[in-house]
């Protein structure tokens, strides 16, 4: 794994890259890709795609996921996002689109590639950036969580007026130290069917609330 990352993020996160835990993480990830060939996701060149697709200068919204989809051809380095040709959509992603449909009266898009969000300033950040095929959370407790905790803290400390969308208990816990006096933090249940079908997702109106906040700060709204 080569730690090539968008320059503005590299400058902000350079202290993390020099820490022992991150060097150990790099060695672990390198060995996983070497040993498992095409059975570790996303492709190695897309591990840091969330950062490359959304420079700090464009950052408006942070969405937190857990780890990449463990199905071949699905994960593309952006949380909740799938490659354009993937059918059917992941169930959580379907529920995200359904909420946008009712919240903003927008039709469900033709594909589930969320790079269009990233290009507008949405950081689609998983807590764990890699995974083995068919083994969800197989790369947990290897250092990724510590790294992404540092990312969230840096954004909280160094930026202002960012919207954080925290869906589900895991994301809420991960975002507990965000400075809510200078950022908007919206929380709800997870869009997974288990949570959504129990009334903890639909109707949260996070997408319209995020846009209202951005507009109030003089920033352009996200075309969800």
Per-residue pLDDT reduced to its tens digit, 107-161: 999 999 999 999 999 999 999 999 999 999 999 999 999 999 999 999 999 999 9
pLDDT at position 192 is 97
The whole-angstrom separation of Cα 128 and Cα 138 is 9
Q: What confidence tier does 3 reach under pLDDT thresholds 50, 70, 90?
A: confident
For 67-121, what is each residue's pLDDT tens digit?
999 999 999 999 999 999 999 999 999 999 999 999 999 999 999 999 999 999 9
pLDDT at position 203 is 98
Q: What is the mean pLDDT of residues 196-209?
A: 96
Integer-rounded Cα radius of gyration of the chain = 17
Q: Does position 2 have pLDDT exceeding 80, yes or no?
A: no
For 38-67, what is each residue's pLDDT tens digit?
899 999 999 999 999 999 999 999 999 999
Q: Does position 184 have pLDDT exceeding 80, yes or no?
A: yes
Q: What is the mean pLDDT of residues 152-179?
A: 98
pLDDT at position 4 is 84
Model pTM? 0.97
Q: What is the mean pLDDT of residues 174-193?
A: 98
Active-site residue flag, 67? yes
pLDDT at position 51 is 98
Sign, CA torsion 61/73/8/5: positive
Coil, strand or helix: which one is 67? coil
Q: What is the mean pLDDT of residues 15-32?
A: 97
**Are 80 and 86 contacting, i.e. CB atoms less than 8 angstroms apart?**
no
Question: CA 141 → CA 101, 127, 189, distances in Å?
Answer: 36, 11, 24
Catalytic one of 20, 52, 67, 103: 67
């Amino acid at each position: 794994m080569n730690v090539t990352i968008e320059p503005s993020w590299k400058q902000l996160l350079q202290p993390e890259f020099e820490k022992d835990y991150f060097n150990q993480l790099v060695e672990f990830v390198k060995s996983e890709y070497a040993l498992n060939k095409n059975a570790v996701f996303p492709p190695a060149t897309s591990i840091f795609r969330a950062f490359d697709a959304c420079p700090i200068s464009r950052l408006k919204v942070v969405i937190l996921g857990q780890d990449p989809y463990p199905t071949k051809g699905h994960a593309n380095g952006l949380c909740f996002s799938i490659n354009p040709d993937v059918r059917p959509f992941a169930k959580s992603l379907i529920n995200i689109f359904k909420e946008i449909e009712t919240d903003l009266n927008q039709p469900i898009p033709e594909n589930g590639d969320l790079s269009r969000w990233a290009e507008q300033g949405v950081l689609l950040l998983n807590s764990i950036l890699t995974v083995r095929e068919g083994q969800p959370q197989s790369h947990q407790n290897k250092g990724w969580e510590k790294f992404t905790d540092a990312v969230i803290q840096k954004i909280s400390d160094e930026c202002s007026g960012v919207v954080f969308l925290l869906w589900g208990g895991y994301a809420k816990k991960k975002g507990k130290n965000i400075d809510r006096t200078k950022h908007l933090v919206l929380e709800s249940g997870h869009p997974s069917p288990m949570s959504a079908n129990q009334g903890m997702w639909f109707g949260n109106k996070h997408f319209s609330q995020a846009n209202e906040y951005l507009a109030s700060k003089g920033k352009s709204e996200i075309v969800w």
